[in-house]
Amino acid sequence: MKPARIWSVLMTIPLILSCQDDWTFSADGRYELSFSADSVSLDTVFTGVASVSKTLMIYNPNSEGLRFDAILAGGVYSPFRINMDGEGGTQIADLEIPGGDSLFCFVSVNIPESGNADMFQALDSIRFVLESGNIQSVRLSACGFNAVRLRGLRIEHDTVLSAKLPYLIYDSLYVADGANLTIEKGARLYFHSGAVLDVAGKLTATGAADSMIVMRGDRLDDLLPDIKYDLLNGQWGGVRFRAGSYGNELDYCDIHGGDWGIKADKSDLTDMKFSLRSSIIHNVKGSCIEATGCRIEVGNSQITNGEKACVDIAGGQSDFTFCTIAAFSLWDAAGQAVLLSDRRGDDMAPLIGATFRNCIITGRHNIEFEVDVEDSIRQSAPYSVSNSLLMVRDTADTRFHEVVFEDVKSKVFGSYNFVDRTARGYSSIFELDSLSPARGIADSLSVIWPVDLNGIPRPPVGADAGCYQYKP
């Protein structure tokens, strides 16, 4: 640095110090602070787990500086903590804000467990005690969930997870060969990042229309004020059925936000790998359903927003009935709705059969049903689509029966089949729009599925395709 430049910098230091010396502070009771909010509500948290911080801005709108202490009314017993000017705790003394300036206050909470209650509220306030003796307050609130914590649990014997308290699952939950894990209706399983429900034995998850079993990530806070982490994919692993796992049953389950939904490993086709009924698999980073060389049944279910694919079938036997299979990922380019193939990587898996009946298969692309098999069997590949709404180019395929093909030149195709997808804060809604061509095209199989996923009765004749019957 040139000597003249050094001298210029040195000359500014006394000026800055002089400005600081000119700051004046007043104890006049007429002067008070102002705040960006009169209350701070933190995101819902699990008990015993510290929350992320919320920011409260403290302003001094006066010409004179103000000195004050910040004290949590609950004292050392408060579950809340504050941090200002580099200091944290339940009480911070000798804080200063020059006239016209502001200060950040960071608020967090760590709520202890409280008996057997499920969800409860924690309340407190920050008391700002000014040098004048004036006291101003900002209210604090947060909701806490008690939860049963499971860390790397290995289930060796038949076990039941009740709905009494939610489960917070770290590492993974492993069901060993020969063991049956039963999950009761209304149970909620919150998986930490990377955690998986890994089943070598058997899973029986039987929810109900008014008390679905929920499997999701454990982030309860918000990414942005109007976007919760629960709307993001990749928040946890997913459900995996190992090669020796058979007879798995999932009814009224809501599985969302994972790296994948359900993965089913290659198995003997004589036994059912899994049955998925009246359930939702939604918004995953990979595929919602990835089945390799096994036998599966899926009915009356919403399979939506897989980044890789919604349904990825490599070989085996699969049957889908009254399903809404739609690829409209919110955050990334959506994968295809359905992908059928006869291999998984280098491992061949012969396609024995795949049927789609009374389904909606749609997405952002003009081909949402792709068949990737060896050329020698392409013309005889054993799949069929019937009484369904289908987004595909090849409308001459003889394996399509009583199918309504989506017309991208019309006003109602793709996402326009459904009600406003952003009406509930980015949570995709796949209930049918009144103008959808999926209405009234299903066959008589509605006698087997007399009500839709919302519990709305299907007519015996002229039911709608997909898992949702239109209701005005």
Ranges of each domain in the chain: 34-144, 147-447
Does residue 360 have a pLDDT over 80? yes
For the record, the structure tokens of 253 come out as 């389950």
Mapping DSSP to helix (H, G, I), strand (E, B) and coil, where does residue 77 land? Answer: helix
Per-residue pLDDT reduced to its tens digit, 211-234: 999 999 999 888 877 788 888 999
pLDDT band at 420 (very low <50, low <70, confident <90, very high): low
CB-CB contact of 90 with 69 (8 Å): no
Candidate from 23-37, 44-58, 108-122, 171-185 with smallest mean pLDDT: 108-122
Per-residue pLDDT reduced to its tens digit, 438-452: 999 999 888 899 999
Mapping DSSP to helix (H, G, I), strand (E, B) and coil, where does residue 76 land? Answer: helix
CA atoms within 13 A on the CB side of 466: 28
So what's the pLDDT on residue 114?
74
* Mean pLDDT, residues 404-425 taken together: 80
CA atoms within 13 A on the CB side of 347: 9
So what's the pLDDT on residue 176?
98
Select from 308, 282, 311, 284 the least CA-distant residue to 297.
311
- Cα separation of 384 and 378, whole Å? 13
For the record, the structure tokens of 54 come out as 């919320």
**CATH for the stretch 147-447:** 2.160.20
This prediction has a pTM of 0.87
CA distances from 90 to 99, 120, 322 (A): 26, 22, 56
So what's the pLDDT on residue 10?
42
pLDDT > 90: what percent of the chain?
75
Mapping DSSP to helix (H, G, I), strand (E, B) and coil, where does residue 7 land? Answer: helix
For the record, the structure tokens of 15 come out as 């000026």
| Alpha helices per DSSP H over 311-438 | none
* Mean pLDDT, residues 259-284 taken together: 97
Per-residue pLDDT reduced to its tens digit, 232-258: 999 999 999 999 999 999 999 999 999
Candidate from 7-21, 382-396, 425-439 with smallest mean pLDDT: 7-21
The more confidently predicted of residues 183 and 429 is: 183
Mean pLDDT rounded to a whole number for the chain? 90
CA distances from 92 to 33, 56, 97, 134 (A): 16, 15, 14, 16
Query: Could you give the angle at the alpha carbon of 218 between the alpha carbons of 213 and 222, nearest 5°?
Result: 115
So what's the pLDDT on residue 22?
66
Per-residue pLDDT reduced to its tens digit, 85-134: 999 999 999 999 999 999 999 999 998 887 666 778 899 999 999 999 99
For domain 34-144, give its CATH number from 3.40.640.10, 2.60.40.10, 1.20.1250.20, 3.20.20.70: 2.60.40.10
Per-residue pLDDT reduced to its tens digit, 170-186: 999 999 999 999 999 99
